[in-house]
Structure formats: structure tokens, C-alpha cells
Structure 1
Amino acid sequence: MAEAHQAVAFQFTITPEGIDLQLSYQALNQIYLSGVRSWKKRVSRIRNRVIKGVYPASPSSWLFVVIAILATMYMRSDPSMGLIAKIQQHLPLSLHVSLSAQGQTMLSALVFSTLLWFSLILALRFCLKLLLSYHQWIFEQHGRISNTTKVWVTLLRLLSSRKPLLYSYQTSLPHLPVPAIKDTLSRYLESVRPLLTDPKFKRMTELANQFESNLGNRLQRYLKLKALWATNYVSDWWEEYIYLRSRSPIMVNSNYYGMDFLYVTPTPVQAARAGNTITALLLYRRKVNREELKPVRLHVHPSTVIPLCAAQCERMFNTTRTPGTETDVLQHWQDSEFVAVYHKGRYFRLWVYRAGRLLSPREIEYQVQRILDDPSPPQPGEEKLGALTAGDRIPWSQMRKQYFSSGVNKRSLDAIERAAFFVTLDNEEQGMRGEDPAGNLDRYAKSLLHGKCYDRWFDKSFSIVIYKNGKSGLNAEHSWADAPTVAHLWEYTLATDAFQLGYTEDGHCKGEVDRSLPHPQRLLWDIPSEVQAQVHSSLAVAQALADDVDCHVFPFSEFGKGRIKKLRISPDAFIQIGLQLAYYRDRGGFCLTYEASMTRLFREGRTETVRSCSNESCAFVKALEGGEAEEQCRCLFKLASERHQNLYRMAMTGAGIDRHLFCLYVVSKYLGVESPFLKEVLSEPWRLSTSQTPVQQIELFDLKNHPDYISLGGGFGPVADDGYGVSYIIVGEDMINFHVSSKYSCSETVNNGCVDVQLQYHRDFRRLKGLHYSFLAILIPAVMY
């Protein structure tokens, strides 16, 4: 509607007397104000580039250097040791003619001061990079800090004392190092030792030794060359080969979900919840664009923090994954003033700015309500069009190229792909409610993971789902960023919605409404029969995948990290070892276990794998199940938790196993050589894939005064067909929320009537679900003093 509104900003008619030009001053004013907003953004970007470009110095420090140099020269001293005079000699001839000798000296001093200032900035940045390359602090025990780390803390505090912008640290972050191939192979063999029999381990050791002595060193040289040239030797290949080149559906297999508050729904009014949620997301986008968000940092010391790479924030909004025949492409636009909305089979473009002004939450609610009240039916082929993004990628690529590259279809598809994000107004009710709260919670998770397979746009960087009863959630595409980045956005959105924007007593958004707002624009389509046939095919593929996935969400509130930390044990290690115990009881053995760890201590870092199934964790589980003495179990558990923590720290600091081997494998493919060792390693299934969702902005949630405002976190589908996907979030001191997924088609993971004796949960839960309940209760007595 905005295009139409601007199109009538001026009208003209041709008369015998000439051209009669009629101007709409209201429309021209709208265009003017919109242009002002655009220029403000450009000025803000330029300003931020200057500020972050000179970090850790400040633009004002240039003036200090200039004054200091001029003051020194006034005292008849030459701080430049003759350089100012040399600069003066090399000034253009025109300046020699137009400027006096004193003016030439002043100009030369100014040039020298600027060059000195730039040199100081580079020196400070180099020093900061050296300091951020020091990672020994992460391996030191709490309360036992070495003198080296104490000095490091002091220097780091001095160099990073200025308030940084979101991207201020980017150029100072170190590059991810390439581990020595011998160390990686040694760590790999150690990780698979508890999973292999003696003959199989001997064979794997021989393969590793052959690889190291023959092909490995050659591949390593190429990888080191890439590490010298590229910002990060892993991230681009990881994004392309793990995500973008996958030709299978991204729904369930790649995309993941985030949930609303567990116990609270801030308003039952669907349009109002949409109004506040969309507003909160756009306020977050404004902070990202202006770089007003604080960089995410790890606390090393009460007054010292380590920055994490913020590169993933750049593609958070206005981003879409577009399908290709061989590989998909991530497309990002600088800005968009609208969101795409889906409701009952219809697509809309909802403008969220007017005349350069962000609409109020009440106005967005008003516009959303207009969409909800719109009685028009879907156009032929429109209702299930989103299934193209849920099925296989190649058919979607072919349909997009052939039928969506021109005309009305291209304009409507552009509106979706260029939108800030996607919004689904779901006509179902979800959440932990009714007579079967546990079952409804599971259905809520499944709905967010795949919905009806056609009512989400899975290609968007993220899609927001607002349910009929006011419950909300999101579905995120994985290639552009990892879960912690989206979790940071979602934390801000939930907190801003509930605690800052708020609602009136009758559940509506606050603020005034301009009822002259143009209606949301209905997107038009011309869907031929060939596309409709492919929509049905893609929907069948997606529906089969969705029907095969079982999800279970379990809020565990018997105890949380408060009680675990009193044992002087890492909560994450506690849970991971518990998962090993649960899996052992489920299958009678151990499996290759994936835990996601971040490498954002390095520039453009993404993730690394922590192989949680270790010799130490297996020894503890066997001892506990074998009825060993309590003291022996306690000792083994402590060793297992310390080992897990060390593995996690090594992964964070660039000494992981799997990304290095993955990149060596990519190099081998480019060289056209085969490695039996790498082929076998890369084909090993992760039957237990786990991830912790970190709570990054605790200050946003006042759990003391508002204990019901607890986030459920999010989850993902299983990685292996015969395995489990386990996500967990540690909330406050007394709760851990778990998300477990598996496939019905696997006989090993379907219901077999597991009974949890201690906590007496339902008989029809799958084995790991029941063990999920029990392992914490069983594990605590084993480690309590």
C-alpha cells in the first residue's frame, strides 16, 4: 500500500492550456520524512565506523595528540626528531606558495600528529589482540589465579576501559589457530577409545598413523596457508558445506525453535502479543544497526570481561536463504520497513514504519487485527505455498527460477525475502495448559519445529509464531548464525514485551492509534498448476519428516545449578555425565556424543564439538551401574566432570578435534585425493546430539519478584535417525528445562514402557524421556557428600 500511496503523491492532467500539476503535500511529506530516516541511518553508520575504527582509542584522542605535539613545539622542542621538517619539505608546491612558513609548519605538525595517532591506534590494537590471544585463564581453577593472569587482567582492563560498540572488538579478536595434526589425531583416538573394541581401536590407530605420515601433513600445509589468508579457516567452509550445500529439507533437519515463557502468557489477545513482539524485535534491530548493543562478553574476573565475536549479528534481520541447484545462498539487505505476515493461507506485507517513524505497539496491533479480520480467501495455490521451503531444496530452486523470477510472483516473493522477518499468525492454541499440560507442551514444541509444514517460511533468518491464545515462539534458520545469537535476540524480545512495553488491563498494547494507516498489503500470486503440483510433492516430503519426529519438553524443578554448584561441580558437566548414564541405561552401551561449544573468542568463530563421551565418564557410569562403593563412584564422577570441563575449554580455545578434521577433509576433496581415515571419521553418526542454551542477559529478568517469567529455551530435531537431540537451558538456581527429540521410525527410540521408579512418571514415555527424569535424581545421591 505504501507504493500506491507514494505513486499518487503527484498527479497531472493535460489540458488545452497546458499541464495541470497537482501535488499531494501529505504524501510528499511522508516521502521526505522517510528520506530523513534513511539519511540519519547513513550518518549513524559513518559515525559508528569512525568510533569502532579507532577503538581502543577514541576520536577525541586525536585532538589530544595534536595539542601535545603543538605544545611541545611551542616549547622549542622537536618531538618528531626531524620528521615534521621532512613533511614540510614534501608539501605540494601550491601550499608553499599559499601558506606562510608558520602555516606550513603547523600543517606539517598536523599531518605528523595524525600519522602518530594512527600508529598509536595500530599499536594499541595489536596489544589488545595479543592480550585476547591469551587463553590460559580459562584453564585455571576459580580462586587460584596465576600471577601471569593477574597481570593480563590488569593490562586488559586498561586497554578495554572505553565503552565499546557492538563491533568495536572485531579487528582485535585473534584468528582461530590451526592445531598440530599430531595433537588432533591423538585427541581423536582418545575420544573414540571407550566406543571401540580392542581390534577396532587398533585398526583405527593404524589408519590415523598412516594418515599422519602420508597425506595428513600435505593437507595441513594447505590448511595453514588458508589460515594465514582467511579471517577464519573454518567458518566459510562450515557454512557452505554443512548448511548451504545440503539438498535435504532444512525443516527439522537444520532449523531449530525457541519457546515462550513457561507459566505466563502476558496477554491472551493474539494481535496485541504480535504488536509488542514485533515492536521489541524492531527495537533490537535498531540497537544492532546503531551498534548500541553491548558486545557479548565472558566474565573472567568481577571487573574484567572477554569479548566474543559479534559477526553473526550482521545478518540477523532482512536475511533469507535462497535455494540453488548445488548450493543455497544467503541474501542480506541493509534495511526493510516491513515484515511479511501469514494468516489462514494468505500472505501480507505489513509496513511497520510510516514517514520514517516506527509504528507504536498499539498501531501494529491495530494493523495485525486488520489481517485477522480480513475475510478474503487464499488465492489458488497460495495457502500451502510455504511447503516449498520445507521440502527438498532442488525442486524449490527449480520452481523459484522458472516461476518466481518475474511478474507478480517475483514482487510477492521479494516482499517475503526482503522483509525484516516473517510472522505467522497461527489459528491454534499452544502452551502448557489444560488437562494434559505435559502433552500440550510437547505439541507446542512440535508446532514450533515444523508447524503444518506450510505455514512457516523456513528460509527466513527467523520466523515468529503468534498463536491464537497469545502464546509465541520462533523458528530459526541455522546457516547464518548459531543458537546463542538467536537466544540473545529472543531474551531481549521476551523481556521487552513483558516488562517494558507491557499491556493495558484488558490485554491490549499501550499507545495511541492513527486510524488513517493504510491497510496491510495483500500479496498477489499467479500459481500455475506445475507449481501447485510441486507444492503438494514438497508438502508430502515435509509431512513425512514432521510426522516421524517426536518431541518432549520437560521442566525439571527438583533442583538446579544452585545445588549442583554447592558440590563444586560444573552444571554443564553434571548434565552431560547424566546424559551418558541415561543413554547407557537406554541402550546398554555408549555412543559418540556431540555437545556444541562456541569458538567466538576468535574472529568469525562459530562452533566446535565437545566429545562428551570420555574414558572418565564411561568409567563412572560403569562403576555406578556395577554397584561400586559410593566413595569410588564419587571419585570417578569428580574425575569425569573435570575431564569434561577440560574438553570444553579446549574446544573453546581452538584445540578441538572435529572442525580441524572437517577442514582437512574439505582440502582433500579440493585436491581430489581420498583418505580412508577422514572418510570414516566424517561418516560416524552422532546418536546423542546435545546443546546448552545459555542465559546471556540475566539482568533482563527479575526472577525474585517475577519467578513465573521463566524461559523454556528451545530445541532441535535429532541428528541421527536412530539417535536423540537433547537441548537444555539452566534457568535461575532451581530449574533445568530439557528438550528431547527422536524419530518414531527407529525401533530403538520409540516407546517401550519405561517406568521411572523414583519420580513415578508416566509409563508411556520413551526410554530416554523417563531416564531424563530419573538420571538427575539418581546422580545427586552418588555425588553428595
Structure 2
Amino acid sequence: MAEAHQAVAFQFTVTPDGIDLHLCHEALRQVYLSGLHSWKKRFIRFKNGVMTGVYPGSPSGLLVVLVGYVSTTKYAKIDPSLGIFTKLSTHLPISKYVTEEGQRIVGGVLVGTGLWITVTFVMRNILKCLLSWHGWMFSRHGSLSLKTKIWLVLVKLFSGQKPMLYSFQSSLPRLPVPPVKDTVRRYLESARPLMDDEQYKRMEGLAKDFEKNLGPKLQWYLKLKSWWTSNYVSDWWEEYIYLRGRGPIMVNSNYYAMDFLFVIPTSIQAARAGNSIHALMMYRRKLDRAQIKPLMVLNTIPMCSSQYERMFNTSRTPGVEADVLQHVNESKHIAVFHKGRFYKVWMFYDGRLLLPREIEQQIERILMDKSEPQPGEEMLAALTAGDRVPWAKARTQFFSRGKNKQSLDAVEKAAFFVTLDDSEQRFDPDNPVQSLDSYGKSLLHGKCYDRWFDKSFNLIVFKNGTMGLNGEHSWADAPVIGHLWEHVLSSDPVRLGYSEDGHCKGNPHPNLPGPQRLQWDIPEECQTVIDSSLKVAQALADDVDMHIFPFNDFGKGLIKKCKTSPDGFIQLALQLAHFRDKGKFCLTYEASMTRLFREGRTETVRSCTIQTCDFVRAMMNGKATREEKLKLLRTAAEKHQDMYRLAMTGNGIDRHLFCLYLVSKYLGEDSAFLKEVLSEPWRLSTSQTPLQQAELFDLKRHPEYVTSGGGFGPVADDGYGVSYIILGEDFINFHISSKHSSPETDSHRFGNHIKQAMLEILELFQLDNKAKDK
């Protein structure tokens, strides 16, 4: 193992004649380059802050206005302030030192600046008003009304030119608080198919009582919060749903993202790590400079970008009662784990980011290291996989001083965490089921001690060159990590590429200092806590029943020919599959985002509706005709789309009820209605992984470069977690999770039901017959 280069700026020896002082010029050079890099970043942050703060105006626009006003003042002899500045200057002590022409110029500058500020302020507020209208979302699929087209033109007109990542933040509207009456009505509608008449009558009574008595009081406080804060949901959601959870975040909260499904660009582990780490650092550079384009719906309507802020240099710090997200503005290193040992790897040298081949060189040094783990070091990361309270207490007791604190800081303040996994994972066409299931489980939990689950994300590179991500959930939602991952996958084989022998392009650096092995002093008492956390984590991991399958019978191409939404089609298939699997309906969670609003995160679409249940019953009824089933399908799909639109536009059910419940707890009020609603289990939890940058992947020319999407663990002990990604026109990948310990669930059985349901629903449209008729 090549240990870290110890650069000493000053060397001295004591001689009879005094002290002989020497300077190490290389060390001073590195200090200079490091300082230069730091000041560059500060300047870029300052510049970005200015650009974002004045958007949709721009400094260049201000310059044009000022030049115009000064020219008018100087050559046309016109006072743009209409004499106001001249009158005011007579009362100022500087008036005697400034000529009349100078006063006119200064007046022109001030008036021009004021006009520019006014125009910018007006444009921003007009844009904010425009973005508060969401009628465009309720247009028929595939068509836009004249009103919507005019609205889109106005949004483009007031959106400015070349927006940066955070340019629209101050123009985004606040998340509205729905009326209690509407939320209660929508809740009762969603609960009706899951309750018998007696249960529903009881719940209806509780709901009406809440709506009339306690609800308005809680709503008043919630509206007050919505006026005072940027988003009335997000801070409470982050704290109470994520950071206050005391159980393991592994499996229960963290999620994963997969590599390409059919190809591995190189089988050399160090090379794959080299390109991927470099691509991640380049993305961070773009992020620091706000050069990433904000996501836009219909290429016009901006979405909130606030979740990107904590993507790098972030770690979840455990606490006894609640965790805290620790974020540092700058980190110049990454933390790497291999065979039970931790390393700190600097990402900069000579004042620049390391190139892919240089990063590969560093990874090679780690892989060649033959040293043994220190006592307690190998299983150390199991602390992040087990319960949070033991980890919080151990962190305070054993990692608050000395070398343990320094090493823990190196991990927690790293840009991100990298695991060089010594196992091999990939899709095997000869054994597709077992290979993908093993791959998914490895990304979700690994060995329970070879990922640092507290980091914002872990890059996992396997021995054969396959890779993936494990993401911590509290700081952001999966689409944000998905955006990063799309950049990495598109950069790796295409833009960066590999040499013919599979190594990163370029040459190793002859003088590059090696990685630094982190040092630990872990007492036996702490090792006991580590062992205990590992047992908890292993029991949780062993219980995960994972099944991943590529569905390539058809994709969104054929679904669109059915004139229905692909997401609605799949959600109906999941409901049909679940009814076949368990013989009953269940409360279903589908994640929807609310990023059309400032600091928006997610909302729930309750996919199990009255209309969906009617359709499923018809499919299970041998006497129902195809026309009847088709009619019910279209009604159910349209209802699903309406609910999705309501969720995205701030009129969902569950976030509002969640916040009302928290207010009731703060006030010391008990609500039987809210308590019962929030205790209902989500036995089917679903999420679509969106492909957000389709332009980065040419799936027609390179269909092999298709990602596998990602997944998450089961939400309920007796339920299923289902994630799916729609890729290209002919491919959908499903990720299913459940628990072996539940006698009611079986992920592979459920997967077969999904395949059957997808094919049965498609058959209703008789596309083959229509093609023959044509």
C-alpha cells in the first residue's frame, strides 16, 4: 500500500551555528494551487448567487440599460431623472464637487438601475403568477387548448434566457394548503373500496366530525405556516418521516440504482471506478457552478431544484432522538472501502481534478494493498446499517476524539463513499432470475457492513466491473439521484470511454501521492455494539425477498397505441396482479412529485380507486364482455390520471393530513380520525423511475446501453414494494421486494402475476386485429 505523501513545507536542522531553515518548494506550490482553487470556487459561488438573485434579469441587461441612459444623458442633454437628482444634489455635500453634466450621468445611472430592478421584479412576479396556474395539466392527453398554448408562450416570454440550475427558485409558487373539506372528501372516496359498509359508515362519522370541529382549528395554524415558510410540508416531512426514524435505514429507507442491463463497458474494476468517479466529480463541478439545466416540464415549466444542494459532501449523523444532515460546502476527497479497510483518496492534485486514468491508478493501489483490517475496522460500517440509537451513543462515546474522530470525519465529510466490492454481479442471460435478484439485494444491503448507509450516496463497483448506487433518502428523492446517475452512465462508455485493453484513457501520474489508509482504535466495548448492529442488519437483509425482471413483450409504444397513459396502464396491471396474488384490494401508494412548487418533494397517489376495483372485478368475471372491460379500464385510467394531476398540483390527500396530524400533536389535541388514517398500512407501495434525460441515450442506435432503473425495500411487513422504469418504446423493467417472513407474499409469484396482467390488459385492445384490418 502506498501511504499518503507527507508534504512538509518547512524543514529545519539545529546546528552549532543556529537553525538551518529549508523550504520545500513542491509543498508551497501545492498550498498555492489549493488556495487558488478555493478562491475560484468562492468567486463562482458569488457570481452564481448574483446571477440567480437577479434572474430573469441579468447583469448584461443592466449594462445595456445603463449604457443607453448614460448615452442619452451625455449626447441628448436629457436628464432622465426629470431634475429630481439635481434638486436632491443641492442638499448633498458632494454637489459642489460634481459638475452639472456629472450629476445628469449619475442620475441616469440611478434611474437606469431603478428601471432595471423594477422590470426584473415585475417579470419575476408575473412569472410566479403564471406558474401558479396549473390548468394546463388537466388538458386531454396529447392535446393542448388555445388557453394553454397562450399561457406557455407567456411563460417562455417571462422566463428569461439561459437559466441556471437555481434561477427559477424565487419564481416558483408556494405549495397551497387544500381546504379541509376537499381533503376529507377525497380521503373518504379513496377509503370506500377498502371498507365494508359498517367500517365505512364509522369512518365517515369520524371524518365529518373532524371536518366540522377540530379540522378548521388545525387548518388555521397550517395556513399560517404556509404563509411564513417556503413549503408547509417539506421540513416536517424530512424530520418526522426520515430523520426521527429510530429503526435501520438500510432496506427500510435507502434505495438503489442499477448499471446497464446488458453490457459492462469494461471488466476491470479499477478502470470502471476511475471513469465513474471522474464523471461524478465532473457532475459536482457543474452543480457547484449551477451549470446543470433545471428540469422543465414540456421544455417550458420549471421544477424546483433545491434538493440538489445536498447531493455531495453530505452525511446523515445519528442522534438519540433524531438524526441530523451534516453538509460541508467543499470536500476534496472521497472515502473508499475495500476488504474491511477504509481509505481517504484526494481528488485534486496540481490544482486540478484527477483524470480518469489517475483515479484508476489510485484504485489500483488500494486493490493491491495486502494489509489486514485493524481490530473492529472490517465490520465498522454495520453501525450505519442497524438501529440508530446504538449508533448515536457509540459515535459519541468512541468517535468523538483522537484518531477515530479524524477518520470518521474523513468518511462523513467525503464527497461521497465508494465500495470496491469483492463479489461479481451482473445480468446473466442463462440465469436471469437468480442473477438479477442477487444483484438487486447486493445494491440494497450488500453484506450489511460494506456500505456506509449514512452517506448521501454510495458508489458500488463490483469485481467484474458492474456498478450501482445506494442512496440515502432523507436529503432528496430518487429522481434527483436518478438525474446524477443518468449523467454518469451516459458519460462512462461514450464520452470518457476506455482503451482497447479496458483501462481508462490516458496515462498514470508518475508523482501522484497514494491514498491514505484511515486509522482506527476501536475498543472491545465498541466492537460489541458493532456486532449487535450487524446481527440486526443481517436479520433484516436476509428477510428481503427481491425479484427483478425485464418485461420486453411490449412497452410504451404499444401502450400509447391503446390511447392510454403508460403509467395508468401499469398501475391497473399492478392492481389486477395484486388481487390475483392476495384475493383482495389494499391501500396503494404511488409516489408523485410536487416540484412544481418551491421546495416540493412528494405526494401520494392512492391508486386503488372505486373505478380500479370495478375494472379488476370485471377482469376476474368470466361473464364480462371485452367491451365492458375496456370501458371500465378507460374510466379507471382517466380517474388515475386525474388523481395524479391533483397530487402534482398540491391537492393531494396524504401530505395535508400528515401536517394536520402534526399540528394536532403540537396543540395536544387528539383526533381519532387522523390517528386512524395515519396508521393505515401501505401494503402495495409503487414508484416509477423516470428517465429524465432521454437525449443522453440513443436507444435506437445503442439499445444495449439501457439502464435497469432502481428499487427499494418493502414498506409493510406483509406487503410489496414495486418500482418500474419505462425505457424506450419496447421495454419496462420491474423491481419487486417483499419479506420472506410473511406467509402472504412472494415476490416471484407477484412478478408472474404482473406479467400475466400486462398481457391480459393489452389483449383487450386487440391491436393485432386492428393492424390486420388496416
Shared fold per TM-score greater than 0.5: yes
CA deviation string 1:107-158 (max 9, x = no partner): 2332222222212211111011111111100100145433322221111111
| Aligned counterparts of 2:12 and 2:106: Cα–Cα separation in 1 | 56
2:18 and 2:110 map into 1 onto residues whose CA distance is: 60
Q: Please report how far the alpha carbon of residue 83 of structure 1 lies from its aligned counterpart in structure 2 after TM superposition.
A: 4.0
What is the CA–CA distance in structure 2 between the aligned matches of 1:89 and 1:411, rounded to whole Å? 63
CA distance in 2, matches of 1:374, 1:153: 59
1:86-97 superposed matches below 5 A = 87-89=88-90, 91=92, 93=93, 95-97=94-96
1:433 is matched with which residue? 428
Q: Is residue 373 of structure 2 the alignment partner of residue 378 of structure 1?
A: yes
Q: Which residue in 2 is equivalent to 1:760?
A: none
1:607-655 alpha-carbon deviations (Å, 9 max, x no partner): 0000001111111111111121100100110011111111101100000
2:36 alignment counterpart: 36
1:417 aligns with 2:412: yes
TM-score by length of 1: 0.95
CA distance in 2, matches of 1:3, 1:673: 60
The answer to whether 1:568 aligns with 2:550 is: no
Distance 1:251 1:16, change over 3 A: same
| 2:704 equivalent to 1:689 | no
How far apart, in 2, do the equivalents of 1:253 and 1:307 lie? 31
User: Which string of whole-angstrom CA distances, capped at 9 and with x for unpartnered residues, describes residues 731-764 of structure 1?
Assistant: 00000000000001100014xxxxxxxxxxxxxx
Q: Which residue of 2 aligns with 1:248?
A: 247
Aligned residue in 1 for 2:284: 285
Aligned amino acid, residue 616 of structure 2: V
Query: Which aligned pairs between 1:209-228 and structure 2 lie closer than 5 A?
Result: 209-228=208-227
Provide the rounded CA distance (Å) in 2 between the counterparts of 1:244 and 1:457.
16
Q: Shift of residue 82 of structure 1?
A: 4.9
Spell out, residue by residue over 1:388-444, the C-alpha distance to the aligned partner (whole angstroms, 9 max, x if none): 000000000000011101100000000000000000000000011274222011000
- Does residue 27 of structure 1 match 2:27? yes
**Which residue number corresponds to residue 541 of structure 2?**
546
In structure 2, the residue corresponding to 1:218 is in which secondary structure? helix
What amino acid sits opposite 2:297 in the alignment? L
CA distance in 1, matches of 2:248, 2:348: 34
CA–CA distance in structure 2, aligned partners of residues 171 and 135 of structure 1: 18
SS in 2 for 1:465: strand
Q: Does 1:644 align with 2:640?
A: yes
| Residue equivalent to 1:614 | 609
| Equivalent residues in 2 for 1:211-610, closer than 5 Å | 211-299=210-298, 304-433=299-428, 435-610=430-605
How far has the Cα of 1:46 moved from its partner? Answer: 1.4
**CA distance change for structure 1 residues 521 and 58 in 2, over 3 Å: closer, same or farther?**
same
Q: Which runs of 5+ in 1 are unaligned?
A: 751-764
For the pair 1:715 / 2:711, whether they are aligned, the reply is yes
- CA distance in 2 between counterparts of 1:521 and 1:231 reads 43
- Shift of the 161–101 alpha-carbon distance from structure 1 to 2, 3 Å rule, reads closer
1:20-44 deviation line (CA, Å, top 9, x unaligned) = 2101111111111121111111111
- 1:699 is matched with 695
After superposition, the C-alpha distances for 1:42-77 in whole angstroms (9 at most, x for unaligned) are 111111112111111111111222233345545455
How far is 1:288 from its partner? 0.3
Question: Shift of residue 87 of structure 1?
Answer: 4.7
Q: What is aligned with 1:729?
A: 725
SS of the residue 1:38 aligns to? helix
Contact 1:597 1:648 (C-alpha < 8 Å) held by counterparts: yes
Q: Match of 1:584, SS?
A: helix
2:139 partner amino acid: E
Stretch of structure 1 that moved more, 31-40 or 284-293: 31-40
CA contact 1:175–1:603 (8 Å) conserved in 2: yes
Q: Which amino acid in the other structure matches residue 106 of structure 1?
A: I
C-alpha distance in structure 2 between counterparts of 1:42 and 1:434, whole Å = 50
Moved more, 100-109 or 558-567: 100-109
Instruction: Tell me which amino acid in the other structure corresponds to 1:13.
Output: T
Q: 1:743 aligns with which of 735, 739, 755?
A: 739
Maintained 8 Å contact 1:596/1:690? yes
Partner AA of 1:547 in structure 2: D
Partner Cα distance (1:85, 1:194) in 2: 75
Conserved 8 A contact 1:84-1:109: no
Corresponding letter in the other structure for 2:711: G
Distance 1:243 1:84, change over 3 A: same
% of aligned pairs identical?
61
Aligned to 2:750: 768
Name the counterpart of 2:762: 780
- 1:637–1:783 Cα contact (<8 Å) kept: no
What amino acid is the match of 2:27?
A
Amino acid paired to 2:130: L
Task: State the AA in 2 paired with 1:777.
Answer: L
144-153 or 487-496, larger mean C-alpha shift: 144-153
Which residue, out of 614, 617, 630, partners 2:626?
630
- Distance in 2 (CA, whole Å) between partners of 1:143 and 1:705 is 27
Q: Is the 8 A contact 1:62 1:114 kept in 2?
A: yes
| Deviation at residue 85 of structure 1 after TM alignment | 3.8
Mean Cα deviation higher: 657-666 or 11-20: 11-20
Structure 2: give runs of 5+ residues left out of the alignment.
Answer: 768-774
Q: Which moved more, 1:98-107 or 1:336-345?
A: 98-107
Output one character per residue of 1:337-365: Cα deviation in whole Å (capped at 9) or x when no partner.
11100000000001111122111111111
Say what the alpha-carbon RMSD is for the aligned residues: 1.6
Q: 1:535 to 1:126 in 2, by over 3 A?
A: same
Match in the other structure for 1:757:
none
> In structure 1, what is the Cα distance between the partners aligned to 2:562 and 2:721?
28
Task: Mark the CA change 1:229 to 1:767 in structure 2 (over 3 Å): closer, same or farther.
Answer: same
Please state whether the residue corresponding to 1:783 is helix, strand or coil: coil
Amino acid at match of 1:624: M
Question: Deviation at 1:88?
Answer: 3.1
1:81-100 C-alpha deviation (Å, 9 max, x unpaired): 55434553564x1x223322
Tell me the secondary structure at the aligned position of residue 174 of structure 2: coil
Cα separation, 2, equivalents of 1:656 and 1:81: 53
Is the Cα contact below 8 Å between 2:2 and 2:365 reproduced in 1? no
Q: Secondary structure at the match of 2:751?
A: helix
Letter of the structure 1 residue corresponding to residue 252 of structure 2: N
Partner of 1:551, secondary structure, is strand
Q: Aligned with 1:156: secondary structure? A: helix
Match of 2:100 in 1: 101
TM superposition shift of 1:15: 3.0
Indicate the SS of the match to 2:238: helix
- 1:232 shift after superposition: 0.4
SS at match of 1:375: coil
Deviation at 1:200, TM superposition (A): 0.8
**In structure 2, what is the Cα distance between the partners aligned to 1:89 and 1:323?**
63
SS of residue in 1 equivalent to 2:661:
helix
Aligned CA distance change for structure 1 residues 98 and 263 (closer, same or farther; 3 Å)? same
Which residue of structure 2 lines up, in the alignment, with residue 84 of structure 1? 85
Question: CA 1:394 to 1:89, structure 2 compared with 1: closer, same or farther past 3 Å?
Answer: farther
Q: Which moved more, 1:549-558 or 1:696-705?
A: 696-705
Matches of 2:149 and 2:544 in 1, distance apart? 50
- TM-superposed CA distance for 1:669, in Å, is 0.9
TM-score of the two chains, using structure 2 as the length reference:
0.97
Residues 565 and 87 (structure 1 numbering): CA distance in 2 closer, same or farther, change over 3 Å?
A: farther
Inter-partner Cα distance in structure 1 for 2:748 and 2:490: 34
Taking a change above 3 Å as real, the CA distance of residues 67 and 357 of structure 1, as seen in their structure-2 partners, is closer
Stretch deviating more after TM superposition (327-336 or 50-59): 50-59
